Amino acid sequence: MNTDSFSNINWLAVLVAAIAFFLLGALWYSFLFRDAWIKASGVNVNDPNAKKGVGAMFLSSFVLIVITSVGVALFTARVGSGGWMTGLKVGLVAGICFCATSISNSYLYEKR
Q: pLDDT tens digits, residue range 61-77?
A: 899 899 988 988 888 78
DSSP tag of 95: I
* pLDDT tens digits, 28-59: 888 888 888 888 877 788 888 877 888 888 89
Cα–Cα distance between 112 and 102 in angstroms, integer?
14
Pair 37, 29: CB distance under 8 Å: yes
Residue 109 has pLDDT above 60, yes or no: yes
Cα–Cα distance between 16 and 14 in angstroms, integer?
6
Cα–Cα distance between 59 and 57 in angstroms, integer?
5
User: In residues, how long is the chain?
Assistant: 112
Highest mean pLDDT among 2-11, 13-22, 32-41, 50-59: 13-22
Q: What is the pLDDT of residue 108?
A: 78
Cα–Cα distance between 41 and 105 in angstroms, integer?
18
Q: What is the pLDDT of residue 27?
A: 92
Residue 1 has pLDDT above 60, yes or no: no
Residue 112 has pLDDT above 70, yes or no: no
* pLDDT tens digits, 79-103: 776 778 887 887 888 888 878 887 8
Query: How many Å is the Cα radius of gyration of the chain?
Result: 17
Q: Which amino acid is at 47?
A: D
